[in-house]
Amino acid sequence: MEEMKNENESNERQDPLANFSHSSSTKNKKGGWKSVKYILGNETFEKLASMSLIANLVVYMHTQYNMDTTFSVEVFNIWSGLVNFIPLVAAYIADAYVGKFHMLIFGGIASLLVNTNKLS
């Protein structure tokens, strides 16, 4: 019996993840299903905005810039691809070089500067 007890103790010492029921992360559980409604709402409205932008941007390029409809759709697809690809590049830069908080500050300031330049 003691040999079995000693064997179990040695296994617990070897594998620190074997006994995870007493970890502090399970006691202070945040996020999960409480947060999912906000994530789904954000994604829903983001997709709604981007899908409504498709028709408006194509019509605008066709009427104001006299572009062919197929070419304006190609321009929109390139723009959409860049908009969806740039966060991956920014995430790599944040993880590898800058850090998430500095990248958030830089992104916020850059977004503010771009949006204020549009107003003037």
88 to each of 31, 73, 84, 93, 105, how far by Cα in Å? Answer: 23, 24, 8, 9, 17
Q: What is the pTM of this model?
A: 0.50
Higher pLDDT, 99 or 120: 99
At which residue do the structure tokens 């947060």 appear? 35
Q: What percent of the chain lies above the pLDDT cut of 70?
A: 71
The domain ranges of the chain are 32-119
Question: What value does the mean pLDDT take over residues 43-64?
Answer: 87
Question: pLDDT higher for 17 or 81?
Answer: 81
pLDDT at 64: 94
DSSP label at residue 96: I
The pLDDT tens digits for 92-104 are: 988 999 988 898 8
